Structure 1
């Protein structure tokens, strides 16, 4: 969580690269720090500089900003650059003057790009002559109450994750920036972040700092995620023994660990994946539900970031559906499958309808549904979650890029990037079909004419072809059912198959919401238990 305290410090500054002339403010949120008689006329400052595209060295960065190497501090995804901010004569805002030597082929846009697009070009009519020195005004600010960081919002940022990085007070940050809705910040917005610990103590930016590793809560039993020291993570995983690896995702390995006498799952991510790390940390610190995996703590060290979760003893649902015998598992009974479906539906219903803002998971699949010792399901892996300021039934917005797993992606999402809670409903419908058939979302199906050639078969098309048979749909459906599922309630199974069909409707508006899905599954579970007792 963002720090609940706010400490008076020596006057400090905020920063971000701008080429003065503020006519570009209309393109994104930015409120420049105005010169005031009550503030000092100058103060130390710093730039939080994201490295654009290709990684720069510390020497290259110091040269680019025309500062000494000692004024540059490396962070997990860029550099912190010390400058001096001042309120010059005839200037309404605090600025830092930076000299830049024009290079051959430079344009104002390419100069902006060199500085990670912190630079807002508003003097494009001025001709750039190679080897000539031009002065760039960098917008900054001073305050008598706190050290401040001027920060450019990156894709995936929230006020919470930004405050977490800088150990800042979330409420004071919102007030300082005049944010009517703190959930509506956008990429390239400019925010001033008041840092209570002072500029030299921003250890949440430098995750390898010893002070960060020691700033931990003594007990895991807390409603808030605990900051854990790196050496505990190493000990918990026997120095990252490969024998303790229990999973592998798109962002790294997952280890089984023993932390303070408790079994835990530890996800290791490269420190270059800081956005995904902070996104998942942000979500799991805010949402708490019995059917969502619980975050215990987090840590950093050794060029890695770590998220520590409760351990799900029976692993991922996918291991119990797809060739379970090869993984040493018994087939899941019918009633257990329905219970798992209902648990997962309740977890999705919670993030879709009972949180604000609402969340869309965007990667619902059996490998992201974990099973505890009693085979109750918990949704995991929130690295791709997208928040929505609109209600779950609203039309949503277009995503800038398609993420998720093929076979589970809703057609409107693939077609035009249209993201709503109904995208998750489609993915959940695919999971229901996998529970019924035991087949993965996509599988290679050998052609009868030439077994060497194969194509992907979709479980959705496989199931829909059976359910759309007008003659005797259940007879056709029975041919699709998991052969490991030798006993089931015929009526309940048919109802679940029809529900799965509704969830994968091509028209997202016709798909049921997750509260309706959960209600239908609860009725199916009741019927299945009555059948089981006969």
Structure 2
């Protein structure tokens, strides 16, 4: 272990970190989002058509999605979509994405026919089933043009009881968003007693599966940091660059899908709500708390008032997950460790950040440097009062800076290791 690693064990967690978090200026990548770019993203009249849909579909699935090589490209504007590839331009929600599969659908329409859905799933064949939730089933499908999709079918016995709520929310939200770190919406079906949503198929599972090591899937520290930034991109886009600010309300590791190149895409918008007018200082008041235990904003639980800062709290929990590898709630652990964010923040503020690191990760000077800064950001996101939490855009800026420093330190570590190896080899030859 390097001296920089060992010396940080006793360092006060707040020293030397807040200067990084409080910087007001970063690289040109964080220049303000231009009005022309924002207006270009908002001009999409066809998407509005989906907002009149009735039905119900709860966001309790994790349908996979396809990979996109452009996911590796970093956008020039934080929160804005990365530069679209030709594939992305052709497969936007209303840009002729259906190709040969749209023979029975009007150009640009997002509404699938029942014949298309039956054909894509072989009449909802059990062999095509890839997921099951309390409100329905997810199938893998294939459109006529070869596009792989995830088809989410509501239970006929369920959606009547929740008329229009979750299904309409998900379709309305998906219809107006377009970002490489968000699940791509292909369309929907509302036919008789069928309610279906069609989205991308991504074959590499969820973030939670990777953190759990399911089927041998594991993530190194650099990949975890990249995923955190991808998610920050996606949620910043929802909060700032859609027609109306959107609150996801269910940010969690099982709602983050990973491509084959480990780029993140946020999915499941059944709980999403349009934010209130932030200029007026108003908040959205819910009649029922929606979300997942362990990720819920305590102020939202107490007041039923929902704001973008509720997503920020959930993101703070996600950061702790990425660092520790643990689930937010682990009832089988001893009492003081059962609530993972609480345990991790206590360790961090006590100056023992290193003990929170996922034991499957090998500690290096670069990881040690990034670890404390990530936990400091998580601490801010998890502040009890929403006014004390940073914006999602700010979270992305800080993470971007952390990644830059991590890469530089990792490069130094690698050069030092290579130099030491060469010296050792030279000594042995003598």
Aligning the two structures, in what range does the TM-score lie when normalised by the shorter sequence?
0.5 to 0.7
Q: 2:205 aligns with which of 306, 312, 315?
A: 315
Alpha-carbon contact 1:263-1:310 (below 8 Å) kept: yes
State whether structure 2 residue 182 is matched by structure 1 residue 268.
Answer: no
Q: Distance in 2 between matches of 1:319 and 1:519?
A: 27
Alignment CA distance shift 1:264-1:220 (3 Å): farther
State whether structure 2 residue 362 is matched by structure 1 residue 478.
Answer: no
In the TM superposition, residue 331 of structure 1 has moved relative to its aligned partner by 1.4
Alignment CA distance shift 1:221-1:429 (3 Å): farther
- TM-score when normalising by structure 1: 0.54
In the TM superposition, residue 217 of structure 1 has moved relative to its aligned partner by 3.8
**Residue 100 of structure 1 aligns with which residue?**
none
* Secondary structure in 1 matching 2:278: coil
**Residue 465 of structure 1 aligns with which residue?**
346
Q: Distance in 2 between matches of 1:523 and 1:395?
A: 32
In the TM superposition, residue 304 of structure 1 has moved relative to its aligned partner by 2.9
**Residue 417 of structure 2 aligns with which residue?**
none
Q: 1:385 aligns with which of 249, 272, 281?
A: 272
* Secondary structure in 2 matching 1:227: coil
**Residue 509 of structure 1 aligns with which residue?**
387
Q: Distance in 2 between matches of 1:477 and 1:527?
A: 18
Q: Distance in 1 between matches of 2:258 and 2:387?
A: 31
Alpha-carbon contact 1:225-1:296 (below 8 Å) kept: no
In the TM superposition, residue 438 of structure 1 has moved relative to its aligned partner by 0.7
Q: 1:226 aligns with which of 110, 132, 147?
A: 110
Alignment CA distance shift 1:496-1:226 (3 Å): same
List aligned pairs for 1:181-220, cutoff 5 A: 217-218=102-103
Q: Which aligned runs of 4 or more in structure 1 are off by greater than 6 angstroms?
A: 219-222
Q: Which has the higher contact order (CA 8 A, sep 6+)?
A: 2
In the TM superposition, residue 431 of structure 1 has moved relative to its aligned partner by 0.5
In the TM superposition, residue 497 of structure 1 has moved relative to its aligned partner by 1.3
Q: Can you list the C-alpha shifts for 1:396-428, whole angstroms capped at 9, x where unaligned? A: 132111011010001111111121000000000
Q: Distance in 2 between matches of 1:162 and 1:308?
A: 16
Alignment CA distance shift 1:373-1:394 (3 Å): farther
* Secondary structure in 2 matching 1:401: coil
Q: 1:410 aligns with which of 292, 297, 320?
A: 297
**Residue 500 of structure 1 aligns with which residue?**
378
Q: Can you list the C-alpha shifts for 1:405-460, whole angstroms capped at 9, x where unaligned? A: 0100011111111210000000000011000111111111355xxxxxx8992111
RMSD of aligned residue pairs (Cα, Å): 2.8
Alpha-carbon contact 2:105-2:111 (below 8 Å) kept: no
Higher helix share: 2
Q: Can you list the C-alpha shifts for 1:486-523, whole angstroms capped at 9, x where unaligned? A: 25521012111111111111111010001100101111
**Residue 194 of structure 2 aligns with which residue?**
304
* Secondary structure in 2 matching 1:498: helix
Alignment CA distance shift 1:482-1:508 (3 Å): same
In the TM superposition, residue 302 of structure 1 has moved relative to its aligned partner by 7.3
Higher strand share: 1
Alignment CA distance shift 1:355-1:446 (3 Å): closer
Alignment CA distance shift 1:531-1:220 (3 Å): farther
**Residue 261 of structure 2 aligns with which residue?**
374
Bigger-Rg structure (1/2): 1
Unaligned regions of 5+ residues in structure 2, if any?
A: 1-47, 55-100, 415-430
Alpha-carbon contact 1:362-1:386 (below 8 Å) kept: yes
